[in-house]
Chains A and B, each alone.
Chain A
Amino acid sequence: MKRYESWGRFPRAAHSVFALNWHSQEIDFPRFTNKVLAFGLGRSYGDVCLNDGGTLLDTEGLRHLIAFDPAEGIVDCEAGITLAELLEIFLPKGWFAPVLPGTRHVTVGGAIANDIHGKNHHRAGTFGCHVLGFELLRSTGERLFCSPDQNAELFRATIGGLGLTGLILWVRLRLKAVSGPWMQVEHLPFSSLKEFFEFSRDSDSRYEYTVAWVDCVSGGGKAGRGVFIRGNHAAGKQAQGEWKSKPAFLRIPADAPGFLINRCSVRLLNEIYYQLQSAKRGPFTMPYGPFFFPLDSVEDWNRLYGKAGFLQYQVVLPEDGSARLKEFFEKISNSGLGSFLAVLKHFGPKRSPGLMSFPKAGVTLALDFPIRGRKVFDLLNALDEIAAAAGGSVYPGKDARMSPGHFRKFFPQWQEFTKYFDPAFSSDFKKRMLL
């Protein structure tokens, strides 16, 4: 049974659900007495996918492929198809998703609405950079094909538009040619942020995919240590052989008790993870699945955080502000709140067409915190302050708690954005941001 909740499971919301199955489907918007919002697989951490008291338009049934051009690698597909399914269908034909997030279980529509990014941002930019167009259904009943040339303003507003500009029915996407499912990967342990920046500078031009895991709970000599992971699609001999993605090997069947993720367990997990990851340096060949989606091997891992849920915090600091990163780590370490999954990456200068797109050139840090009372909210507010002062911003697609004031500082273009809203659409994020 499908659960209509966000991935962080905070806040909670109650909805009516209306399922969509065809992009040709007529939707009688006036029949909904409350506001609507598209909902795919609920992998957004925060409240951009929630619409408390309203209706969710479930897009999971919108899974028809419409056309594929095998010469150019251009696919037309309905918005509810997942990146997992696109990979399954097109990788055997030599085509890969242009941008992949940390899970394969996201819909193409959601990837556009959140203008997602991945380990290749420094080269490829965001998902929106590879979208050639899409059909947008407005509550007036209009179906608008939006592209850089047609309805260009709605095109820009919808990429990263958090589902507030209407319903994306189908998408024209440019895939990327690869030689197979294998990756050539290297792990480089580092002991300080300075080293991370060195590895990053050295790697970003030669490696298509780079990311770092960083330990932000250990203090003392271990502070700032981490593992830099870089990879390319394997070519030639290393690219030989089939690989089929397997279902998750473990599923978390119920909410774990709230105390499971605590300072000690997080510290222990960080230690184990650091030792394991830094032990295998490579270069070695591995399939794309575990390289891009290590967490997909545990289904419903968000339940490990217990009933109260968790917050994901992702911030980007511009190049000249990255010196402030140290402040972040000090604040987090001093707060006593641990994050197991701390991810660090350099964003490149490639601009997304999206008006509200989050990534910009600089360094980005993503953290997970279990929710235990006020303390974590206070910490994240303090981090928002640092980000705002440094000219950075926080990712709305993952947010469940930033203040409207900070949001407006992070996205000074917010007023222009509101011009493209569809009045029948809303979300808990929109309401929280007082938009």
Chain B
Amino acid sequence: MKKIFVAGALSAIAQETARCFAAEGAAFFLAARDGEKLAISGADLKTRGASSVTVLAADFDVLESHAEIVRKAEAELGGIEIALIAYGFLPDQTACEQDFDLTLKAIHTNFISVVSLVMQLTPLFENQRGGTMAVIGSVAGDRGRPKNYVYGTSKGALALFLQGLRARLSRSGVNVLTVKPGFVDTPMTAGHAKNILFADAPSVGCAIHRAILARKDILYVPGFWRWILFVIQCIPEGLFKKLKL
């Protein structure tokens, strides 16, 4: 029975990953902002086979709350084997260009807050010398593009932080998984026109479930994004400036 802490548990992707673990009888501590929806998601996981589900309404933008949330999760679960950090904020890029507060909010939610939470979790994982911290980043973090570089910056900075942490924690047997989804059809992208590259949340969620069990380091999901991003990263900057990507 896996003991799982999910931060941002109402994200469509997190719910799907949790459903896969629920079918295996996992125990959950779910935290997210909306208490009413948490109750629905909790009942869903319970009905699908979760051995226990505890929910907590929490706003991860409030950094001061992180220590207490982690303490509660650990106490409730009796240790945390898997932490899945799935909250994020996708701002409108053009709006960000005129609005530092909005830019800061994206960087705060997607980067600063996650760093704070990961740092609260790290000693716990180090002490138990095992487990997995899985964090949802984005392919947008692999290269800055005019279309979404604010979001990309927050996710790219996060990936760099996790990369360093992964190397450090590997000595203690702790796994750090950076998930890099491409376009996923979720409420987060509801306002975006869909194209052939969009993946559905259930398949992305289940891929994360498999990657956690396989103790992967980095997961591009769907897998073809690894190759798309490889190509994009190979383009020399001089040429890249001129492309409308």
Q: Are A and B a genuine interacting pair, yes or no? A: yes
Residues of A within 8 A of B23 (CB): 89
A19–B40 CB distance below 8 A: no
- Give B25 Cβ to nearest chain A Cβ, in Å: 12
Q: Digitize A47-83: 1 where CB-to-B-CB distance is under 8 Å, 0 elsewhere.
A: 0000000000000010111111000000100000000
Within 8 A of A (CB), among B39-90: 40-41, 43-44, 47-49
Q: How far is the CA of A263 from the CA of B40 in the complex (A)?
A: 53
Q: Digitize A15-26: 1 where CB-to-B-CB distance is under 8 Å, 0 elsewhere.
A: 000010111100
Q: Does B37 touch A at the CB level, under 8 Å?
A: yes
Residues of B within 8 A of A66 (CB): 40, 43-44, 47
Residues of B within 8 A of A2 (CB): 185, 194, 200
Q: Does B190 touch A at the CB level, under 8 Å?
A: yes
Q: Does B198 touch A at the CB level, under 8 Å?
A: yes
B37–A89 CB distance below 8 A: no
A93's nearest neighbour on chain B, judged by CB, is: B49
Within 8 A of B (CB), among A138-189: none
B39's nearest neighbour on chain A, judged by CB, is: A24
- Give B27 Cβ to nearest chain A Cβ, in Å: 17
A24–B40 CB distance below 8 A: yes
Number of A-B contacts (CB under 8 A): 42
A64–B196 CB distance below 8 A: no
Q: Does A276 touch B at the CB level, under 8 Å?
A: no
Q: Does A434 touch B at the CB level, under 8 Å?
A: no
Q: Does B236 touch A at the CB level, under 8 Å?
A: no
Residues of B within 8 A of A65 (CB): 43-44, 47-48
Q: Digitize B13-48: 1 where CB-to-A-CB distance is under 8 Å, 0 elsewhere.
A: 000000000010000000000001100110110011
- Give A300 Cβ to nearest chain B Cβ, in Å: 14
With A19-B187, A21-B12, A89-B48 already in contact, the answer to whether A64 and B40 are too (CB < 8 A) is yes
A21–B187 CB distance below 8 A: yes
A1–B194 CB distance below 8 A: yes
A67–B47 CB distance below 8 A: yes
B41–A24 CB distance below 8 A: no
Q: How far is the CA of A61 from the CA of B200 in the complex (A)?
A: 10
A89's nearest neighbour on chain B, judged by CB, is: B48
Q: Does B195 touch A at the CB level, under 8 Å?
A: yes
- Give B122 Cβ to nearest chain A Cβ, in Å: 33
Name B40's contact: one of A22, A75, A89 (CB within 8 Å).
Answer: A22
Q: How far is the CA of A363 from the CA of B195 in the complex (A)?
A: 44
Within 8 A of A (CB), among B183-208: 185, 187, 190, 194-198, 200-201
- Give A12 Cβ to nearest chain B Cβ, in Å: 18
B43–A67 CB distance below 8 A: yes
Residues of A within 8 A of B47 (CB): 65-68, 75
Residues of B within 8 A of A64 (CB): 40-41, 43-44
Within 8 A of A (CB), among B143-199: 185, 187, 190, 194-198
A61–B12 CB distance below 8 A: yes
B189's nearest neighbour on chain A, judged by CB, is: A19
- Give A147 Cβ to nearest chain B Cβ, in Å: 20
Residues of B within 8 A of A63 (CB): 44
Residues of B within 8 A of A68 (CB): 47
Q: How far is the CA of A21 from the CA of B200 in the complex (A)?
A: 13
- Give B167 Cβ to nearest chain A Cβ, in Å: 36
Residues of A within 8 A of B36 (CB): 24
Q: Give 30 CB contacts A-B under 8 Å.
A: A1-B185, A1-B194, A1-B195, A1-B196, A1-B197, A2-B185, A2-B194, A19-B187, A19-B190, A21-B12, A21-B187, A23-B40, A24-B36, A24-B37, A61-B201, A63-B44, A64-B40, A64-B41, A64-B43, A64-B44, A65-B43, A65-B44, A66-B40, A66-B43, A66-B44, A66-B47, A67-B47, A68-B47, A75-B47, A89-B49
Q: 6 shortest A-B CB distances, which residue pairs?
A: A65-B47, A64-B44, A68-B47, A65-B44, A1-B198, A1-B194
Residues on B facing A (Cβ under 8 Å):
12, 23, 36-37, 40-41, 43-44, 47-49, 185, 187, 190, 194-198, 200-201
A1-B185, A65-B43, A67-B47 provided; 9 other pairs, C-beta below 8 A? A1-B194, A1-B196, A19-B187, A21-B187, A24-B40, A61-B12, A63-B44, A64-B43, A64-B44
